[in-house]
Amino acid sequence: MNTVRKWARDGRLVPAPIKHGRSYYIVPDARYSPVDKCPVPRGDLVARIQAARGLSHGNE
Is the pLDDT at 27 greater than 80? The verdict is yes
The one-letter amino acid at 15? P
Average pLDDT over residues 47-60: 68
Which residues have C-beta within 8 Å of that of residue 48, sequence separation ≥ 6? Answer: 40, 41
The rounded mean pLDDT for the chain is 79
CATH 1.10.1660, applies to 2-53: yes
| Residue 43 and residue 11 in contact, taking contact as beta carbons nearer than 8 Å | no
The Cα–Cα gap between 4 and 24 comes to 9
- Looking at the whole model, is its pTM more than 0.95? no
Among 1-15, 23-37, 46-60, the minimum mean pLDDT is found in: 46-60
Supply φ then ψ for residue 10, to 5 degrees: -85, -5
Using CA atoms in the order 19, 23, 25, 31, what is the torsion angle rounded to 10 degrees?
Answer: 90
Q: Which residue has the higher pLDDT, 18 or 37?
A: 18
